[in-house]
């Protein structure tokens, strides 16, 4: 039997903050992140902390927000007040 990994306490709030900063619904953020095939309810599970997104989805959220993945998963770090930040991972095309 394995041990459960601790979940970041503020991750869901941060993911919701990112979605709202871009004025996206839970349905639209799936496409914006590049994952239109995931069930819309999954976004709700991520935002409520019921589920932790896999690394590829966390990276897409971080890229959209212009932050490091560590900013999302480290409860001691906060997202910048203005999103997107200035970090670009190259996962998503930038709107210029």
| Domain 11-73: which CATH number of 3.50.30.50, 3.40.50.1820, 3.40.50.2300, 1.10.260.40 | 1.10.260.40
Tell me how far CA of residue 19 lies from CA of 5, 29, 47, 67, 71, in angstroms: 25, 7, 10, 14, 15
Calpha distance 20→5 (Å, rounded):
28
pTM for this model (two decimals): 0.88
Calpha distance 24→69 (Å, rounded):
20
5-55, pLDDT tens digit by residue?
Answer: 778 999 999 999 999 999 999 999 999 999 999 998 999 999 999 999 999
Cβ burial of 18 (10 Å; 0-12, 13-18, 19+) is buried
CB atoms within 10 A of CB 4: 6
- pLDDT number for residue 96: 41
């Amino acid at each position: 039997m394995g041990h459960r990994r601790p979940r970041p306490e503020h991750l869901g709030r941060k993911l919701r903050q990112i979605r709202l900063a871009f004025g996206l619904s839970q349905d639209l953020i799936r496409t914006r992140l590049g994952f239109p095939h995931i069930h819309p309810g999954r976004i709700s599970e991520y935002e409520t902390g019921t589920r932790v997104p896999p690394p590829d989805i966390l990276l897409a959220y971080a890229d959209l927000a212009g932050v490091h993945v560590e900013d999302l998963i480290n409860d001691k770090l906060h997202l910048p007040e203005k999103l997107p930040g200035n970090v670009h991972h190259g996962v998503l095309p930038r709107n210029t």
